[in-house]
Amino acid sequence: MKTNRKNLPNPFLSFENLTEGLIPEKLPEFKKSIRDIMQSHELIHEQKRDALSNIAKDALTYPSISAEARALIEEGVICLLNEGAAPYHPRYVAPMYERLLANGSDFLELGPAVDLYDATASLTTAYKNVPCEAPVFIGRIDELLEPYYDTVSPEEARKVLRSFWLLVDRLNPSAFVHANIGPQKTRVGELLLDIDRELKTLTNLTLRFDAQITPHDFALRAIRNALELTKPYFLNHSRMVQDWGEDYAIASCYNSMRLGGGIFTLVRVNLKEMVKLAEPSIDDLLKRVIPMVAEKQIEIIQSRVRTIVEDVGWFEQNYWVDEGLIMKEKFTAYAAVFGLAEGVNELMARLGRPQARYGHDAQANQLASDITAAMHHAVKKVALPYCKGWDGACFHAQVGINSDVGVTPGVRIPSGEEPELYAHLRAEGHTHEWIEGGVSTILEFDQTATGNPEAVLDIIKGAFKEGVRNLSIGSASSEFVRVTGYLIRRSDLEAAKAHKALRHSSSIVGSGFLQTKPNHLHRVRRKV
């Protein structure tokens, strides 16, 4: 049944009336959570509002799934990553902002942009109205703004871009907000790197790098920034084009999706817990357990996609769709994994080789690659409705959250346990082959790197040859820490320890993660 304004609940009804028909046994828990949020001194107003919204989503029942799938959720093998029981919007969207600039928006009452002032004002407006939790993708920012660069003087261009970048950070306080630049060098791209180095924002940034396209000096400029700010990411652009074509965007942490599309939902498998379902046998894990878990993972994804499209009707009467900024046929969903290192190490120990650990042993590394490949093939076997933006579910390596105690994000080698540089890149790079939906490797350098950016560039090129899709580089002396796929400032981590409010919502998640995994602050520091 379609819901119209006349069907909406009276906002003055009591909590008991509003929750009638939901989950009675959870009412006391919901009430306590609401009161705790309202009284918290560690959350600012917007964060309280978002937390209260999540309480409402959690009050709903799951879309219809089998008892076996529900059991895997309850046992911690499958995780819904804080999306709530029944989502009402896609997790991520990647609007075609270039159409907004070219055509304007009737609904937002914006005309076509004619100069740099118009273009930045239109984008800032769009970001505040994006139809998901946050503007996780704010565009290929250099391509969007380069055509307007000459509409003002170079001096004015810098002032406008500086104000724009400052507003992006201040109005959207989340390190999941993500811009793309490259692979070509542009005046806007160069200027943005300089401005970002000056402002030191937490807004995430990716350089789509291709050694055959990206000029040498532009890459070195980006490396200078990365060693100071731990961004931009270096993305293997040629590999992305091989998988996606030119029609792709990098959003949030390092998530791949269609430009003009998005991701309905992200359902992830805890590989550490999944391995416990198998006999002490690689064959049993690969041939029985992985297909079974992947089938239930896809079942859960399917139920959530149908909820958004059929029950909620998200694409209906949606001006982002009506104005051609988002297209239904470009959406898909993520079937994600995390905890590969612990899963591999657990099974190797059960096979009688506890010393054989991921990153340090050939058999363990091969098992890591085999698990990743098997999961990739298993999720591809099951068709998904409404996921035309990819051939079924898109395989993804998921970053960590503060509830991931004792589990390493994605397919990474645990922090502090990394082998020598090229063994590290080879081990993780071989798993990247299967993960088209987003995956990254993190390298941290000591102070010697700042004086030798050419050597860092050689390492980036070598990593891409080993199969690495996305590389984060940083310095041990940087104020910025790449938690898993997003950034947090060390000063924010100290503020969180003192129970102070944090402006960036992502810093709350990141500080919680780092408190549960303090070794994440002590990666192996590479010399160059």
Shared domain for 67 and 143, answered yes or no, is no
pLDDT by residue (tens digit) across 433-474? 999 999 999 999 988 888 999 999 999 999 999 999 999 999
| Distance of alpha carbon 408 from alpha carbon 170, whole angstroms | 31
**Mean pLDDT calculated for residue range 150-156:** 98
pLDDT by residue (tens digit) across 191-213? 999 999 999 999 999 999 999 99
17-26, 462-471, 484-493, range with the lowest pLDDT:
17-26
pLDDT by residue (tens digit) across 387-432? 999 999 999 999 877 677 789 999 999 988 999 999 999 999 999 9
Give a yes or no: residue 84 inside a domain. Answer: no
Give a yes or no: residue 85 inside a domain. Answer: no
Shared domain for 103 and 67, answered yes or no, is no
Identify the DSSP state of 518: G
Q: Cα–Cα distances in Å, from 388 out to 90, 94, 461, 517, 521?
A: 15, 15, 33, 38, 40
For residue 502, name the pLDDT band (cuts at 50, 70, 90): low
Amino acid at 286: L
Identify the DSSP state of 503: S
- pLDDT value of position 289: 98
pLDDT by residue (tens digit) across 28-86? 877 888 899 888 888 888 888 888 888 877 777 888 999 999 999 999 999 998 888 88
- pLDDT value of position 2: 43
Q: Half-sphere exposure (CA, 13 Å, Cβ side) for 132?
A: 26
Supply the Cα-derived Rg of the chain in whole angstroms: 23
Shared domain for 67 and 94, answered yes or no, is no
pTM for this predicted structure: 0.90
| Distance of alpha carbon 120 from alpha carbon 99, whole angstroms | 14
Q: What are phi and psi of 49, to 5 degrees?
A: -60, -45
**Token duo for residue 130:** 């994006």
For residue 480, name the pLDDT band (cuts at 50, 70, 90): confident
Give a yes or no: residue 290 inside a domain. Answer: yes
User: Pick from 45, 79, 113: which residue ends a domain?
Assistant: 79
Give strand pairing partners of 105: 110
Q: Is the pLDDT of residue 13 over 50?
A: no
- pLDDT value of position 11: 34
Q: Is the pLDDT of residue 500 over 80?
A: no
Contact by Cβ (8 Å): 294, 382: yes
Own/partner contacts of 342-348, CB < 8 Å, gap of 24 or more, are 342/271, 342/272, 342/406, 342/407, 342/408, 343/271, 343/272, 343/274, 343/275, 343/371, 344/275, 344/368, 344/371, 346/272, 346/275, 346/276, 347/275, 347/278, 347/280, 347/282, 347/285
Q: In Å, how far from its chain's centre is CA 504?
A: 16
Shared domain for 354 and 502, answered yes or no, is yes
| Distance of alpha carbon 443 from alpha carbon 439, whole angstroms | 14
**Token duo for residue 445:** 């350098």
User: Pick from 46, 79, 112: which residue ends a domain?
Assistant: 79
Give strand pairing partners of 78: 269
**Mean pLDDT calculated for residue range 12-23:** 42
Contact by Cβ (8 Å): 379, 373: no
**Token duo for residue 282:** 């690689």
Shared domain for 36 and 129, answered yes or no, is no
Cis-peptide, bond into residue 87, ω within 30° of zero: no
Shared domain for 58 and 187, answered yes or no, is no
Shared domain for 50 and 122, answered yes or no, is no
The CATH number of the domain holding residue 325 is: 3.20.70.20
Give a yes or no: residue 164 inside a domain. Answer: yes
For residue 95, name the pLDDT band (cuts at 50, 70, 90): very high
Q: Is 21 exposed, middle or buried (0-12, 13-18, 19+ CB in 10 A)?
A: exposed
pLDDT by residue (tens digit) across 297-334? 999 999 999 999 999 999 999 999 999 999 999 999 99
Shared domain for 232 and 372, answered yes or no, is yes
Give a yes or no: residue 180 inside a domain. Answer: yes
pLDDT by residue (tens digit) across 351-361? 999 999 999 99
The total domain count for the chain is 2
Shared domain for 321 and 438, answered yes or no, is yes
Closest CA to 93 of 305, 326, 413, 276: 326
For residue 524, name the pLDDT band (cuts at 50, 70, 90): confident
User: Pick from 25, 45, 79: which residue ends a domain?
Assistant: 79
More reliable by pLDDT, 421 or 501: 421
Give a yes or no: residue 461 inside a domain. Answer: yes
Q: Is the pLDDT of residue 376 over 80?
A: yes
- The rounded percent of the chain whose pLDDT value lies above 90 is 70
For residue 505, name the pLDDT band (cuts at 50, 70, 90): low
Shared domain for 33 and 134, answered yes or no, is no
Task: Give the domain extent around 398.
Answer: 90-528
Sheet holding 441-445, edge to edge: 178-181, 204-209, 233-236, 470-475, 441-445, 525-526
**Mean pLDDT calculated for residue range 97-116:** 98
Shared domain for 193 and 271, answered yes or no, is yes
| Distance of alpha carbon 373 from alpha carbon 435, whole angstroms | 9
Q: Is the pLDDT of residue 177 over 70?
A: yes
Shared domain for 183 and 66, answered yes or no, is no
- The rounded percent of the chain whose pLDDT value lies above 70 is 90
More reliable by pLDDT, 28 or 255: 255
Average pLDDT, the chain: 89
In the three-class reduction of DSSP (H, G, I as helix; E, B as strand; rest coil), residue 136 is classed as coil
Cis-peptide, bond into residue 232, ω within 30° of zero: yes
For residue 12, name the pLDDT band (cuts at 50, 70, 90): very low
Give a yes or no: residue 151 inside a domain. Answer: yes
Give a yes or no: residue 329 inside a domain. Answer: yes
